[in-house]
Structure 1
Amino acid sequence: MHRRHLIAASAALAFPLLGRAQAWPAKPIRVVVPFTPGGTTDFVTRLVMVEVAKSLGQTIVVENKPGAGTVIGVDSVAKSAPDGHAFVTVANSFTVNQTLVKKLPYDTLKDLRPVALMGLSEHVLATHPASGLKTVADIVRQAKAGQKLSYASFGNGTSAHLAGEMLKSQLGVDIVHVPYKGQAPALADLLGGQVSMMFGNWPEFRGHVQSGKLVAIGMATAQRSVYAPGIPTLAEQGVKIESNSWNGLLAPAATPDAIVQRMNAAVNEAMKLPAVADAFQQGGIAARSGTPAQFANFIASEIRRYAEVIRAAGIQAEN
């Protein structure tokens, strides 16, 4: 009798939690993008969330909240109510900050939970035509001849910065790092010839390469990219660098499993729709669906990968 009472009591306690998950979403959902508008993460988030909103039958408000290398936007969601109405789209910087930022206002692995990986944009190493750089061999030749070379990045500790440090390390040459506050201003100076080279997202660089305004030295991919099959990889030129920009969705840590699973399913379904799949294809963005657990494993591996580069290069956070 006592055991039956315990079972009945447990079931009664579970009903309110189940009811809340089933009623979700009960109000508009807020999805924070911790970057300025117009970038790849912002594009992917808005594209996917339009379809997710239709699937869930609720409004989704995408809010750009940049600052402090994405820490401000991520922290705002980490401290939000875990009721399934607040999410944040993160990118490589989320895993970089775990090692680079000494005092994060949130615990990367404890205060947020992975929901869904969404897209991945491959990086290309590009330069201005006037630089005379067309291959990795040209970089080595100019550097050893005493030419002062520089590379731009989206900012200190970003994936573009770390790729540049890997390039310097493997080639054994000095290339000055010039950090910018985002890819757009860095790309503008690359187009203007103010910096020698830059690792950047292929979707944003493709048009400039095709028009001849930029020269693609190589793709930072293991094999030739399906989006740019005519461009050799850096690996083909003796440099083993795999660099990209990915984005995925997180929720506050205590968000119920049922809500996380439903949001994950809605995101995965959205990325299969023709409107989203075609936009990804045209933009040179690879869809990366999967389970929350798979995304969690991906995040853990990215933290380890970037930690090795940061420590080897002695990169320090900007104060």
Structure 2
Amino acid sequence: MQRRQFIQSAIGTIATLPAWQPARADAWPSRPVRIIVPFTPGGTTDVVTRLVGNELGKSLGQSVIVENKPGAGTVIGVDTVAKAVPDGYTFGTIANSFTANKTLVKNLPYDSAMDLRPVALMGLSEHVLTTHPASGLKTLADLKKAALTKPGTLSYASFGNGTSAHLSGALLCQILGIDMVHVPYKGQGPAMADLIGGQVTVMFGNWPEFRGQIASGKLTALGMATLQRSQFAPDVPTLAEQGAALESNSWQGLLAPARTSDAIVQRLNQDVNRALASAAVVKTFHEGGIVSKAGSVEQFAAFIRSEEEKYARIIRAANISVG
């Protein structure tokens, strides 16, 4: 009897508790804001997040804490954001993998459209297709000829299965009608090291990290993966100029849990855009070869949809899986 009364009392207490309500924009933020980065520290995504986060802290009047939560191809970190209380105190940085995973990963623990909402695009690092000098390749035509002469003997490295470098390599093979072996690595650093050492033939890599190796002669640039000449590498021909009109890059943007209020999302979007225009970010982006991508919430949402469609086409055409 006492046990039944206790349970009924507990149920009654729970029923009278106030329902969770979104934070009001005029009262937000009243405590530190957390940004989850689903990558290890030190990479471009982490650096961009911390740089922008530092500026956000000034405009928000609160500390912005960056928490690295890598694993499962960014799924663990993104899922943490999707399941966070949507009170305006937890956000997440995403990159290309977020849009590729929608097609690539079976049984995602979150619904990318229903559980998360776009906030702002931040930056973009253009990719350059490179090779090691000993390969003897100088142009895209050289690569195609070599691949057709010895099918299946050339290889391309990537940051890992399902990454932008992997999918862009697969797309290049489709466009040129060639066959190259994909060699995935756990990050760009190890892949670059083996590329320099001649263990793999080519690789799509972030211009900011690869430009020094190209300038020193340790790597040869076959072309920029941009449709127009890059402001950071105007002397390097594009792949489009050489007959392969593809764009490859690494980008970073912010998401929020789906039920985060419109007012807070719009406020943070405006603050991110202000951060991107700040002297510190403009200087660092320019020196680092990163393109600023300020814009509205709606523009970022459209960008995400276009990236999802692009990667879905590549993945299905190449029959790529991560199992």
TM-score in terms of structure 1 length: 0.92
1:177 aligns with 2:182: yes
Q: Which amino acid aligns with 2:238?
A: T
Is the contact made by 2:273 and 2:294 (CA closer than 8 Å) also made in structure 1?
yes
1:79-120 CA-partner distances (Å, limit 9, x unpaired) = 001001101000010000001111100000110010000001
- 1:182 Cα shift? 1.6
Indicate the SS of the match to 2:191: helix
Could you tell me which residue of structure 2 aligns to residue 93 of structure 1? Answer: 97
Q: Which runs of 5+ in 2 are unaligned?
A: 1-19
> Which whole-Å CA distance do the structure 2 matches of 1:151 and 1:284 have between them?
23
Q: How many aligned residue pairs are there?
A: 303
1:283 aligns with 2:288: yes
Is the contact made by 2:22 and 2:87 (CA closer than 8 Å) also made in structure 1?
no
Instruction: Give the alignment partner of residue 129 of structure 1, picking from 121, 128, 133.
Output: 133
> Which whole-Å CA distance do the structure 2 matches of 1:67 and 1:187 have between them?
21
Instruction: Give the alignment partner of residue 23 of structure 1, picking from 21, 27, 52.
Output: 27
Could you tell me which residue of structure 2 aligns to residue 237 of structure 1? Answer: 242
- 1:244 Cα shift? 0.8
Could you tell me which residue of structure 1 aligns to residue 118 of structure 2? Answer: 114
Give the 3 Å change call, closer, same or farther, for CA 242–19 of structure 1 in structure 2. Answer: closer
> Which whole-Å CA distance do the structure 2 matches of 1:17 and 1:317 have between them?
39
Instruction: Give the alignment partner of residue 57 of structure 1, picking from 58, 61, 64.
Output: 61
Could you tell me which residue of structure 1 aligns to residue 200 of structure 2? Answer: 195
1:258 aligns with 2:263: yes
1:249 aligns with 2:278: no
- 1:145 Cα shift? 2.7
- 1:18 Cα shift? 8.3
Instruction: Give the alignment partner of residue 36 of structure 1, picking from 24, 36, 40.
Output: 40
> Which whole-Å CA distance do the structure 1 matches of 2:23 and 2:98 have between them?
33
Indicate the SS of the match to 1:237: coil
Q: Which amino acid aligns with 1:301?
A: S
Indicate the SS of the match to 1:317: coil
> Which whole-Å CA distance do the structure 1 matches of 2:211 and 2:239 have between them?
17
Q: State the Cα RMSD in Å.
A: 1.4
Indicate the SS of the match to 2:294: coil
> Which whole-Å CA distance do the structure 1 matches of 2:185 and 2:132 have between them?
17
> Which whole-Å CA distance do the structure 2 matches of 1:84 and 1:301 have between them?
26
- 1:137 Cα shift? 1.4
Indicate the SS of the match to 1:95: helix
- 1:144 Cα shift? 2.7
- 1:19 Cα shift? 6.8
> Which whole-Å CA distance do the structure 1 matches of 2:106 and 2:182 have between them?
21
Could you tell me which residue of structure 1 aligns to residue 304 of structure 2? Answer: 299
Give the 3 Å change call, closer, same or farther, for CA 51–173 of structure 1 in structure 2. Answer: same
Is the contact made by 2:23 and 2:88 (CA closer than 8 Å) also made in structure 1?
no
TM-score in terms of structure 2 length: 0.91
1:138 aligns with 2:142: yes
| Identical amino acids, percent of aligned pairs | 66
Indicate the SS of the match to 1:88: strand
- 1:64 Cα shift? 1.0
> Which whole-Å CA distance do the structure 2 matches of 1:102 and 1:142 have between them?
36
1:153 aligns with 2:158: yes
